[in-house]
A and B are shown apart, each in its own frame.
Chain A
């Protein structure tokens, strides 16, 4: 009986540490504090993240010798460390795979650093796709 209960608890815990596919409103709720940060409104963030990773925390993309991780597609050359690029500048001082889970606090912290240093242009999707028609990225439920 005890083993069953512990097994059940483990089973329940599993989803808590999985990767996640957010919805627009879920993400808006989690990123609320980034609204206005660096002059970027929340809908701009939501739009940028959609076009960057489709709201999927598990997004990993290899590009010209570097790899980008997670919702914000943070790269392993400058911002985080993985076992592919050993001499990463690792400005965010974090292991890149921490950006693949559904806890976004570390992603947001690093994204803010990126915004301060490189501006919103780090995210190439922003200019062509998130400069206009921003009303659609509002979550009405908030």
Chain B
């Protein structure tokens, strides 16, 4: 018979041994856990898993749709970390050229079948297309939006191969009822525009919209007039295509959730309802600034936007007043879907707060009859059909 010598001497009972074993086990488990997390961390913060953690289904792997915009398996964006974008190439990102392109046709003809990579689409193009579903199956929900990496538009162009010159896109698999012109008022904000295009093109394609991007660039150095530029965008876009919907977006606002539809509704739509700048909530219930959408009919009903707001502020309140005076109300997404990021920037020169704005918005009811689409005058100086957007430079005159 052999005795097993006790491992430790001293008094007979050894509660410490099992405790010691338990401690060792705990330490081992902790070390394993730490090691595991370290491995995941070093593998590069995998932000693409975020939507899955939030419980949002990942989109279909639609190869021929805009979902292939960024090289992520689930269509998610991946800024920072290991960015897919090389350093910005400012000199050659624009392919400027004069003249207008022919009105782009939207449906795949036999010639374009050779560009399509997936068999099902070339098959369906032979059949007549059905209307796109009410809600796109390609949406991912919440996205990570950051502005800390440089954007190369040449790469964005490659990432969005379905987008045609002038920033035009039409869904291949279905017919969209939403023919949307997205109008962006602009002056000297190229860096912001790059981010806008980088984030929005994939989103707009996932939303299965038949859209075009119009950047309306104010020439000259006089006070900025946002609303007049939007009026011009409305008018100029209609020369290209019979858009039935107009989204008016500031160049520095990016939606954080692609369920926030960039298209029109039965009432005028306010899209940027929960901006980070305002603590992700609506600053006031009458707020209609940032990003909004009006159907062609809604826009015409209010005689478009005012032309006499020079400088910052007031024009969005005037537009809100116009809608109310014509018996309309504002439709909005909820504050979760409506989250937006604004690219922070200092106040622009020549866009100081307009001291007349409060007086003007007190008189919208009268002025809307004589200040709007019916009194719009301007001069087109240049039209650039860039791969990702159409840029129209205009002389809009000076305050009268």
Chain A residues in contact with chain B, CB under 8 A? 23, 47, 50-51, 61-64, 124-125, 127-129, 133, 136-137
Contact = CB atoms under 8 A, between A and B. Distances in A.
A64 B358 contact: no
A47 B284 contact: yes
A62 B284 contact: no
B317 A129 contact: yes
Contacts of A50: 283-284
- Between B283, B285, B352, the greatest number of chain A beta carbons within 10 A of the residue's beta carbon is seen for B283
Given A61-B352, A61-B353, A62-B352, A128 B284 contact: no
Given A61-B353, A128-B317, A136-B285, 8 more contacts: A50-B283, A50-B284, A62-B352, A124-B358, A127-B358, A128-B362, A129-B317, A133-B286
Please provide the 6 A-B residue pairs with the shortest distance between their CB atoms, ordered closest to farther: A124-B358, A128-B362, A63-B355, A128-B361, A61-B353, A125-B358
Interface in B171-190: none
Interface string B332-353: 0000000000000000000011
A128 B286 CA distance: 11
Given A47-B284, A136-B284, A128 B355 contact: no
Given A127-B362, A128-B362, A136-B284, A64 B279 contact: no
Interface in B257-308: 279, 283-286
A102 to B, nearest CB: 18
A129 B286 contact: yes
Interface string B345-371: 000000011010011011000000000
Contacts of A23: 279
A131 to B, nearest CB: 10
Contacts of B352: 61-62
A47 B284 CA distance: 9
A129 B285 contact: no
- Between A50, A64, A125, the greatest number of chain B beta carbons within 10 A of the residue's beta carbon is seen for A125
- Between A23, A61, A124, A128, the greatest number of chain B beta carbons within 10 A of the residue's beta carbon is seen for A128
Contacts of A128: 317, 358, 361-362
B312 to A, nearest CB: 10
Nearest to B278: A54
Contact of A133 (B285, B353, B361): B285
Contacts of B359: 124
Interface string B84-105: 0000000000000000000000
Contacts of B283: 50
18 contacts: A50-B283, A51-B358, A61-B353, A61-B355, A62-B352, A64-B355, A124-B359, A127-B358, A127-B362, A128-B317, A128-B361, A128-B362, A129-B284, A129-B317, A129-B358, A133-B284, A133-B285, A136-B285
Contacts of A137: 284
Contacts of A129: 284, 286, 317, 358, 361
B344 to A, nearest CB: 12
Interface in B209-240: none
Contacts of B286: 129, 133
Contacts of B355: 61, 63-64
Nearest to B356: A124
Nearest to B284: A136
A5 B284 CA distance: 45
A58 B28 CA distance: 55
Nearest to B361: A128
A121 B286 CA distance: 21
Nearest to B353: A61
A43 B285 CA distance: 14
Nearest to A64: B355
Nearest to A128: B362
Nearest to B313: A51
A125 B284 CA distance: 13
Contacts of B279: 23
A36 B178 CA distance: 50
Contacts of A64: 355
